[in-house]
Structure 1
C-alpha cells in the first residue's frame, strides 16, 4: 500500500487527485467540528451518559458527521442515500427513468439532479426530527425555538447535508474513490478513538486484544470474499484475411461474488432508518390516545426495543438489495450481446440467448452466496452485542460499518492502481 502511494505521488495527475481528496477530507472534518447554535455540549454529554434518547443510534450509521456533537453535518448523507434508493426503485417501474440510465453521461447528470431535488426535503424532514428529539424531556438539549431561530436551526442542518452531497460529488469527479461512500467511511473512522478509549477504561485489556484480533480476522475474510471472482472462459473466433489468420487470444469474463459491492448494505440500513425517522416525527404530532400511536412507537424503537425483528428485516433487505443491485450493475443480456458482436463465445454455450441464460444462472448463484455473506457479516456483531460482552467498539461500529470501511478502502486502492497502469501506458505509447 505504501509503495502504491509512493508511485502515485510521483505522477502529477494522480498526485493532484490524491491531494484534492485530502483537502476535501480536511474541510469535512472542520465542518464536523462546527456545532449548531443553541445546542449545549455539556447537556448533550449529560444526556448520553444517562442513556438519553435511544434514537441517537439511528443517526450514527449513515452520517458523514457525528450526531454526538450535533455539528453542522450531523445528518450526514442519509437523505442523499435515501433519495438514490427512491430513484433506483422507481427506475424499475418507470420506463423514462430506465431509459435515462442508458443515455450515458447526459442521463446520469439528469438522475443526479433529481436526486439532489429529493434530498433537500428529506434532509429538512430529518432536521425537524432531530430538533423534536433534542428539545423533548427528560433532558432538554435545545430550548424551544420559534420564528427565525427555528428556521436557522433547521436550515443549518439541511444545508450541512447539501454541502456534504456537493463535497462527495467533487471527490467522485476530481478526487479518488466514491465521494459519498468515502464521507460515510470517514464518519465511521472518526468515532473509533472515542469508542476505544471507553473500552480501555472499562474492559480488561486481554478481552480488548481478543476482540481486535477477531475484527482483524473478519476484515481479512471480507477482503478475500470481496476480491474473489468466478472466471468465465471466453474464446474468440479466428478471422481469415487474405493469407493471414488473425484472432484474439482466449480470455475470461470475471464475475465477482459481491458484484454489487457494499451499496446493498448501505441501502438496506437507510431504508430501515427512514420509517423510524418518519415514525419519530409523527409521535410528536399524533395524540397518544389514538390507535396508531402504539404502532408508531413500535416503529420508532424498532432498532433498540425489537432487535430480533430489526435484524431479521435487515438480513432480508440486504439479500434483496444485493440481488437487485447486482443485476443493475451487470446485465447478462448486454454482456451476451457484446460477446456476440465481438465474435466471442463461452465454450459449450451457444451465442445469444443461451449465453445470456448461462450468465444469469452463474451470476445468480454467486449473488446468493455474496448476499448471504454480506447479510451475515452485517448482523454477526449484533449477536455479540446481545451477549454478556459489552464493548463500545462493537456497539458503536458493528458489521455494517466494517463492511463499508473495508469496501471503500479496497475501491480506492483499485482506483489508484488503475490510474497508475493507465498513466504507465500513456508514457510508453
Structure 2
C-alpha cells in the first residue's frame, strides 16, 4: 500500500498548502500598502480570517444540545440519516455565526480612516461574503483531507495554524534575549517545560483503563464462535479539550454580559466582576478550573454511556468477570469511568491553566497566550492520529484486508 499512502500524504500536503495560500489572499477593497501603522493586523484579514471558529462553535453548541436534549441525542445515535441531519443543522448555524462575525468585522473596518478604498460602496457586503465563503471552503477542505488524506482535517488545519506561528515567535524571543529584555535562563526553562509537557500529553493520550470482558460461545449463521476474552478500553481523557475549555468561560461570562446589558457596563458591580475575571486573575483561574473539571465529567458521561455499553455487552453475550449483567454492569462501568475521568479532568484543568499561571507570576514569554496547553494538545493528538492512520494504511492490503 505504499502507493496509496503516498497518494494520501500528497493530497494532505496539497490541501494544507491551499489553506496557507488562502491565508495570504487579503479581503478585497483594503488599502493595505498605504496603511502601515496596522499592517500586521491588516495582513491577517484574509478570506480565511475567521478560520474554523464559527464551525467549531456551531458544532460545540449542537453537541451541548445533544447532551441536554434527549431527542437530539437519539437522533445522533439513530444512524447515518440522523447524523446527516445534525451535520446540516451545524452548517446552518455556522452560516449564521460566520455572517454575524464577518459583518461586524467589515463594518468596523469602514470606520478606520483611509483603510477601505470605498467605505460607502459595497465593501461591507463583499467582505462579509468573502469571509463567510472562506469558512465554508475550510470546512469543505477539512472534509476532503479526512476522506482522501491522512489524519483528521479539522485537527490538521488547526495544528498548522499553531505551527506556522512558532518560527515568528522564536525569532521574536531571540531578539528579546539579544537585547537583554528577557533572560536566557527563562527561555531555557520554557523549552524544558514544553518538552516535559509534550511528553506528558503523549503519555496521557495513549493511556487506557482496560476492563476485561468475557464473551461466551455463540453461533453466527452456520459458524460457531468460541468463547473469548477481550478488553473494553476507556481513555483517561475521553472528554477531549475543545468542549470543556471552550464552554467553561461561557458559564460565567454569559450571565455577566446579561447583567451588563441590564445594569449597564459602567455599573460598579459589573465593572468589578469584569476586572476580577480577566485572564491571569485568581478569580478567573479558580472559576474556569472548576468549570473545566465539572464539564469534563458531564461530557465524558455523554461520550461513554455505561448503560448503553452494558446493554451492548448483554446483546453480544459479554460479561465482566465477577459482575452480574445488566444494571450491575452499568454501575461497575460508571464507577470505573468516574475514577478514570478524575485523572483526565485534572489533566485538562492543568493544561488550560498554563498561560494563566505564566501571566499571574510574570514568567511568560510573548508566545504564552498563543501557544498554550490546548494548542500543544491539539498538535500532539493530531500527530498521534496521523501515526495511527499511516500504520493502518501501511498494514492494509488492497480491498481493506489486514496483513
Task: Classify the TM-score, shorter chain.
Answer: 0.7 to 0.9
In the alignment, is residue 163 of structure 1 matched against residue 137 of structure 2? yes
Q: Which residues of structure 2 form unaligned runs of 5+?
A: 178-182
Q: Deviations over 1:101-147 (max 9, x none)?
A: 1222222111111111110110111113323554557x985578234
TM-score, normalised on structure 2? 0.84
In the alignment, is residue 294 of structure 1 matched against residue 266 of structure 2? yes
Alpha-carbon offset, residue 426 of structure 1:
4.8
Alpha-carbon offset, residue 73 of structure 1:
0.8
Q: What residue in structure 2 maps to residue 33 of structure 1?
A: 24
Q: What residue in structure 1 maps to residue 242 of structure 2?
A: 263
Distance between the aligned counterparts of 2:323 and 2:209, measured in 1?
Answer: 17
Alpha-carbon offset, residue 239 of structure 1:
6.3
In the alignment, is residue 348 of structure 1 matched against residue 322 of structure 2? yes
Q: What residue in structure 2 maps to residue 14 of structure 1?
A: 5
Q: What residue in structure 2 maps to residue 3 of structure 1?
A: none
* Match for residue 235 of structure 1 among 188, 206, 214: 214
Please state whether the residue corresponding to 1:392 is helix, strand or coil: coil
In the alignment, is residue 198 of structure 1 matched against residue 172 of structure 2? yes
Q: What residue in structure 1 maps to residue 349 of structure 2?
A: 375
Alpha-carbon offset, residue 151 of structure 1:
0.8
In the alignment, is residue 392 of structure 1 matched against residue 403 of structure 2? no
TM-score, normalised on structure 1? 0.79
Task: Check conservation: 1:332, 1:359, Cα contact below 8 A.
Answer: yes
Please state whether the residue corresponding to 1:235 is helix, strand or coil: strand
Q: What residue in structure 2 maps to residue 323 of structure 1?
A: 297
Alpha-carbon offset, residue 428 of structure 1:
6.8
* Match for residue 130 of structure 1 among 105, 125, 128: 105
Task: Check conservation: 2:396, 2:402, Cα contact below 8 A.
Answer: no
Alpha-carbon offset, residue 44 of structure 1:
7.2
Q: What residue in structure 1 maps to residue 81 of structure 2?
A: 106
Please state whether the residue corresponding to 1:260 is helix, strand or coil: coil
Task: Check conservation: 2:296, 2:345, Cα contact below 8 A.
Answer: yes
Range with greater deviation from structure 2 (16-25 or 144-153):
144-153
Range with greater deviation from structure 2 (175-184 or 352-361):
175-184
Task: Check conservation: 1:275, 1:299, Cα contact below 8 A.
Answer: no
Q: What residue in structure 1 maps to residue 180 of structure 2?
A: none
Q: What residue in structure 1 maps to residue 61 of structure 2?
A: 86
In the alignment, is residue 251 of structure 1 matched against residue 230 of structure 2? yes
Distance between the aligned counterparts of 1:263 and 1:272, measured in 2?
Answer: 15
In the alignment, is residue 23 of structure 1 matched against residue 14 of structure 2? yes
Please state whether the residue corresponding to 2:369 is helix, strand or coil: helix
* Match for residue 182 of structure 1 among 156, 162, 168: 156
Q: What residue in structure 2 maps to residue 403 of structure 1?
A: 377
Range with greater deviation from structure 2 (202-211 or 149-158):
202-211
In the alignment, is residue 73 of structure 1 matched against residue 48 of structure 2? yes
Alpha-carbon offset, residue 258 of structure 1:
0.7
Alpha-carbon offset, residue 320 of structure 1:
3.6
Alpha-carbon offset, residue 166 of structure 1:
1.4
Alpha-carbon offset, residue 32 of structure 1:
0.7
Misfit runs of 4+, over 6 Å: 42-45, 295-303
Q: Deviations over 1:180-209 (max 9, x none)?
A: 222111111111111111101003444323
Q: Deviations over 1:313-339 (max 9, x none)?
A: 432343343223323322222221222
Query: Measured at CA, do residues 121 and 207 of structure 1 come closer, stay the same or move farther in structure 2, by a change above 3 Å?
Result: same
Please state whether the residue corresponding to 1:258 is helix, strand or coil: coil
Task: Check conservation: 1:265, 1:400, Cα contact below 8 A.
Answer: no
Alpha-carbon offset, residue 269 of structure 1:
7.2
Distance between the aligned counterparts of 1:303 and 1:151, measured in 2?
Answer: 36
Aligned residues: 392
Please state whether the residue corresponding to 1:253 is helix, strand or coil: strand
